[in-house]
């Protein structure tokens, strides 16, 4: 039992959890709604990659691009077709109920088409190759790449939000929807783009998680919960916070699973609830809960 190794694995896993969390945080940040089907869309993306990998024999790592594009389209259509209608009047309950319904539908459609069996995506030898640091400490290439991807997505999102014109429109809509509309910003289009981006990011998360472990139709809810826990631990409104939240969660799960195999997720939940009790605003909160 090598604790340094366990903690390192937990940190790297946290990078993927941060990916799940980032998409959730983007949607909440821009339109103050929570997508309860978020995790299920990640699983859907993994199945999209699986279908193409089986048919064309392409490495699933390249297929993340396909999954991202498909999920971006799904997100854009979902927002314009359903959620924008339900959000009229500032009702936060209706979008929540719609995404809950979607979660159940996606899960059962996947179950109907692909059965309840666990599936895996095989990216080839990269999955098992690792760099040895010291005798006992080794970093797998794939977990390292996943972590790097999580960091890269956060950097890109930060630059997008702070440096581009569209990013400014995102922030303006987030701060004051009515004022933003007076300045000529089409908030419905911003919402659709935000949902598209959110699902494209969760597609990355879903495919990488699918390569790292296995996936099945019913696992989407658990992925949503991990992303959510990372958001709350890190503090709402801060993308770097979600990375830290993901790392805290990943390490907690790794330690729990080491103590007793069934305790991984339970340990993560307990740490989350403890932080909620002690520091409900998270570590890096920028915005007040609303």
Partner 1 sequence: MTDRAFTVVRTSGRQRIALGVLIAIVAVGASVPLWASTRTARTLISFLTLLAFAEMWNLLGGYAGMVSVGQQAYIGIGAYSLWFFSDKMGLQPFLGVPIAGVVAALIAVPTAVLVFRLRGGYFAIGTWVVAETYRLILANNTQAGGGTGVTVTSAGEMGQTMRLYGTYWMALVVAVGSILIVYFLLRSRTGLALTSIRDNEVASQSLGVRVWRTKLWVYVLSALGFGAAGAVAYLNLLRIQPDAAFSINWTAYTIFIVVIGGVGSIEGPIIGTVVYFALQETLAKYGTWYLILLGAIAIAITVWSPGGIWGFVQRHWNVQLFPVHRGLRLAEAVGPPEDSAVCAVDESGSGEGT
Which range in 41-49, 55-63, 134-142, 219-227 contacts partner 1 by CB under 8 A?
219-227
CA torsion, points 274, 277, 279, 280, in degrees to nearest 10?
110
Instruction: State which of residues 33, 154, 209, 243 lies at the interface with partner 1 (CB under 8 A).
Output: 33
Contacts to partner 1 from residues 225-264, by CB under 8 A: 225, 228-229, 231-232, 260, 262-263
CB 64 within 8 A of CB 123: no
- Phi-psi region for residue 90, left (φ > 0), alpha (ψ -120 to 50) or beta? left
Site string for partner 1, 167-206 (x = CB under 8 A): ----------------------------------------
- Does 102 interact with partner 1 (rule: CB under 8 A)? yes
Residue number, 56 or 279, with CB nearest to partner 1: 279
3-state secondary structure of 10: helix
Helix axes 38-56, 3-31, angle to 10 degrees: 110
Burial of 117 (0-12, 13-18, 19+ CB in 10 A): exposed
- Does 85 interact with partner 1 (rule: CB under 8 A)? yes
- Does 286 interact with partner 1 (rule: CB under 8 A)? no
Both tokens of 274, joined, read 């403890």
Q: How far apart are the first and last CA of the chain?
A: 44
Binding stretches for partner 1 (CB under 8 A): 28, 32-36, 82, 85-86, 89, 91-94, 96-98, 100-102, 104-105, 108-109, 111-112, 221-222, 224-225, 228-229, 231-232, 260, 262-263, 265-266, 269-270, 272-273, 276-277, 280, 289-290
């Amino acid at each position: 039992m090598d604790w340094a190794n366990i903690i390192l694995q937990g940190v790297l896993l946290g990078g993927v959890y941060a990916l799940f969390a980032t998409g959730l945080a983007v949607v909440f940040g821009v339109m103050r709604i929570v997508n309860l089907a978020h995790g299920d869309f990640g699983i859907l993306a993994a199945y999209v990659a699986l279908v193409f990998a089986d048919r064309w024999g392409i490495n699933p790592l390249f297929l993340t691009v396909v999954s991202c594009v498909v999920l971006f389209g799904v997100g854009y259509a979902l927002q314009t077709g359903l959620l924008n209608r339900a959000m009229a009047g500032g009702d936060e309950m209706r979008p929540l109920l719609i995404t809950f319904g979607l979660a159940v539908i996606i899960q059962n459609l996947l179950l109907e088409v692909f059965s309840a069996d666990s599936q895996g995506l095989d990216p080839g030898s990269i999955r098992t190759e690792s760099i040895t640091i010291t005798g006992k400490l080794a970093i797998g290439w794939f977990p390292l790449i996943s972590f790097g991807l999580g960091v890269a997505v956060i950097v890109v999102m930060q630059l997008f939000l702070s440096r581009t014109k569209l990013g400014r429109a995102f922030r303006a809509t987030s701060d004051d929807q009515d004022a933003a509309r007076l300045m000529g910003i089409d908030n419905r289009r911003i919402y659709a783009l935000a949902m598209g981006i959110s699902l494209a990011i969760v597609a990355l998360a879903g495919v990488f998680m699918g390569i790292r472990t296995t996936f099945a139709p019913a696992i989407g809810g658990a992925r949503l919960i991990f992303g959510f826990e990372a958001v709350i631990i890190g503090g709402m409104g801060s993308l770097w916070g979600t990375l830290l939240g993901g790392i805290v969660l990943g390490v907690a799960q790794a330690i729990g699973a080491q103590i007793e195999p069934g305790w991984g997720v339970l340990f993560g939940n307990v740490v989350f609830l403890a932080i909620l009790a002690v520091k409900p605003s998270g570590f890096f909160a920028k915005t007040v809960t609303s």
